[in-house]
Amino acid sequence: MSDPVKIQIWSDYVCPFCMLAEGPLEEATKDLGADVEIEWKPFELRPHPQPTLRPEDDYLPGIWQRAVYPMARRLGVGITLPTVSPQPYTRLAFEGCQYAAEQGRGTEYTRRMFRAFFQEDQDLGQPDVLTALAGEIGLDTGEFRAALDDGAYRGAHEDALREAAAHRIRSVPTFLIGDTRIEGVPSTEQLRKAILDAQAGQDVVHGTACSTEGGC
């Protein structure tokens, strides 16, 4: 039996296109089972102390009307511009993801973060919020909160950011499937082809994404 195809997705919890990429990914992999291995990886669009975006300013409502809402309607995803202002830094949430991944629940955690922010308007910068969400997916809330308070996974998160830098990640979502790189929200067909061609040479495909330069 051949090894599973590894699918790595760099994302940020405050990037709506990252949540919208879930649907095509699920559709492309739904019948593949153990033939694929999916790993969500961190990328901070606006690390501290860089200011985060404010939904009451012009930029966010504009990009949501032009790009996010049309794509969400096309994909059949309920999503709303969060009112949390300014938008939260995601470093602490990503440290929590390192704990979740160690418990085998990294994908569940990532999906819960997306829904908490974009469908429930929860502030992912608050330790109490993160701890409650972790409990909802079956993680030990005492251990989880202690890990956040102690910075137990800070080093692991910083290692992950260095890996993102090594891969020259500048926008999210970015998929790496074998040697195939897809930047932005892919179609199901693009993902399926990338999976089937996972051993081929690198192919960069650009789509709609959040970036450190253009924002989101």
pLDDT tens digits for range 114-164: 999 999 999 999 999 999 999 999 999 999 999 999 999 999 999 999 999
pLDDT higher than threshold 90 for residue 33: no
Per-residue pLDDT at 95: 98
Q: Has residue 10 got a pLDDT over 80?
A: yes
- The per-residue pLDDT for 197 is 87
What number is the average pLDDT over the span 60-73? 98
Bridge partners of 10? Answer: 41, 174
Calculate mean pLDDT across residues 177-192: 95
**pLDDT, tens digit, 9 for 90 and up, residues 78-103:** 999 999 999 999 999 999 999 999 99
Superfamily name with CATH number, domain 5-211: Glutaredoxin (3.40.30.10)
Instruction: Lowest mean pLDDT of 139-148, 171-180, 193-202, name the range.
Output: 193-202
Residue 214 has pLDDT above 90, yes or no: no
